[in-house]
Amino acid sequence: MRFHRLGQILVVALAMCAERASAFLDPPYISPANPIAGDLVSVSIYGGGCDLVYDGIVWPPPVTQQGSELTILLTGGHEEDPEFCYYNVGTHTYPVGIYPPGIYTLRVHWRYSTFSGWVTETLGVIPFTVSAAPSQQPIEAPTLSIAGLGVLALVLLTAVLRDLRRRLA
């Protein structure tokens, strides 16, 4: 029983001493959420603090495609020391491409440099479907011709005159 209480006290004490996590990159998502053929598909990542994705500043991130498998490799920075975590928190968006109708899988990889070399992590795998563009054929809709408009006006006028005669009688 003593060890149980000691464990609870230790958990509370350590929780009070813990630093706030400041390095984060949320799971990536695509926009538009439901692309159609001809739309530019982009990937967005929300993050910051000690993690930064800086592709697109000087060069666009490489996107490779093998069939319906797409891979984008983002380059960034990661800081372990909380005193040097000064990156802005925000959403970063990168274009992936324009694709024909079909089912695709986008793998989002992120790499950053350390003293021992490059570290590559997978931020997410996003399945998505590109729909066919809606057909641009004209849609037939019923309309009134001049004769139809005249008949409608005559029927309305007859109804109004009949209602007036009833009220006067």
Element (H, E) at 69: strand 69-78
- What is the mean pLDDT of the segment spanning 114-141? 85
Would the pLDDT of 70 be above 90?
A: yes
36 CB-near residues (< 8 Å, 6+ apart): 130, 131, 132, 133, 134
Q: pTM for the full model? A: 0.64
Measured distance CA(4)–CA(88) in Å, rounded: 42
Identify the band that residue 22 occupies on the pLDDT scale cut at 50, 70 and 90: low
What is the per-residue pLDDT for 1? 54
Q: What is the pLDDT of residue 83?
A: 76
Q: Which of 123, 119, 127, 50 is nearest to 87 (CA)?
A: 50
pLDDT band for position 21 (cuts 50, 70, 90):
very low
